[in-house]
Amino acid sequence: MRIIAVANQKGGVGKTTTTVNLAANLAARGRDVVLVDLDPQAHLTTFLGAEPSQSSYGVLTRSKPVAEALIPVRERMKLLGSGLDLAAAEQELVSMVGRETILRDALAAYEADCDYVFIDCPPSLGLLTLNALGAAEEVFITLQPHFLSLQGLSQLLETVLLVHKRINPKLVVSGLLFCIYDARTALSQEIVRDVTAFFDRQEEESPWRDVRIFDTRIRRNVKLAESPSYGRTILEYDLKCHGAEDYAALADEVEAMVGADEPMSAADVAPGGEGGSEIAQVDAVAEGVVGEEATVAAGEAGGAAADTEAMAGRGGEAGPGSGADVAGPEAGLGGRTIVEGSSPQG
């Protein structure tokens, strides 16, 4: 069973759309998939037209078994839904011992046979996201190739690094997906080149050293934006659109990933188929109180902090972070240099 957190602290970059449509493609190929909605906005739950009587709030705060809270939403797809009550979960969990591993323990007790678990993370680096990272073995990062959507990448990678060191040694960033991609723009192509170059330079010990930047690009497609309003996956809404083609290709890549999963035998495969905010200290992950929007200071990551970068500001949009220019003067985006440190969230 592969447990994958789909994460980015920036909203509107395709996390929920990717979670739903990748899961739908895998389910169509005979895979059993569990979806976990950890976003209090409940977009994943709404997308699938579900109204769960039990939600991830009960699992996190009331020790409800996952098996009792899951509801079937499609053939071979089950959902652990969300609701507005999940917004209170971070406050309720602050005083609990082991609060960062509640979801991990709940999923470990889930004994049903399952091929994939996808966790749709909220657009923040708070306690809900820490629970997702504590439970997952892999992280898929979705990125829109726009400058503002990249600004939180440094904090996300530092959070992954700290969780990897203190809570979940198995955690790796195994995939990066560009969504809402427009190949006609020079900006999209520049960002793809610079992000690829950044990950190519990583040291061997980082948890994203083997990240796969998916060849598939999820193209800008109105059908992907329309389908949630009908409560349908893209396979159900328009099987022939670019969005359906792209997510089918992504499913091929996910199934073919090497190292993140045990090789599958032929018998296993079924036919078919903004203003910059300070980065808060996160000693709380192991020993203190986790704030509402806990993020990771570069100093907490020690010497490995030089492996993470943020996109520095453009004009009045952002100011440069601290640290050395690790990308070199030639790695700028249209004259903007990639530097390490914090930058405003988009």
**How many angstroms separate the CA atoms of 115 and 56, rounded?**
20
Note whether residue 238 is domain-resident: yes
Note whether residue 170 is domain-resident: yes
Number of domains forming the structure of the chain: 1
Q: How confident is the model at residue 29 (pLDDT cuts 50, 70, 90)?
A: very high
Range of the domain at 61: 2-271
Give which of 292, 6, 332, 46 is closest to 176, Cα–Cα. Answer: 6
Note whether residue 91 is domain-resident: yes
Instruction: Note the pTM of the prediction, 2 decimals.
Output: 0.75
Q: Which CA distances in Å does 129 have to 107, 133, 163, 182, 264?
A: 15, 6, 11, 29, 30
Task: Identify the pLDDT of residue 52.
Answer: 79
**Phi, psi angle pair for 223, to nearest 5°:** -65, -35
At 39, is the secondary structure helix, strand, or coil? coil
Task: Identify the pLDDT of residue 258.
Answer: 55
What CATH code is carried by the domain that includes residue 121? 3.40.50.300
Sequence-distant contacts of 227-235: CB under 8 A, at least 24 apart: 228/17, 228/43, 228/46, 228/47, 231/46, 231/47, 231/48, 231/49, 233/20, 233/21, 233/24, 233/74, 234/21, 234/24, 235/21, 235/24, 235/25, 235/28
> 73-105, pLDDT tens digit by residue?
999 999 999 988 898 888 888 888 889 999 999
Q: Are strands 212-219 and 71-74 parallel, antiparallel or unpaired?
A: unpaired
**How many angstroms separate the CA atoms of 338 and 346, rounded?**
16
**How many angstroms separate the CA atoms of 211 and 158, rounded?**
15
Q: How far is CA 291 from the centre of its chain?
A: 20
Note whether residue 241 is domain-resident: yes
Note whether residue 188 is domain-resident: yes
Angle subtended by helix axes 242-256 and 15-28, to nearest 10: 70
pLDDT at 228 over 80: yes
pLDDT at 276 over 90: no
- Residue pointed to by tokens 């995939």: 175
> 30-60, pLDDT tens digit by residue?
999 999 999 999 999 999 998 877 889 999 9
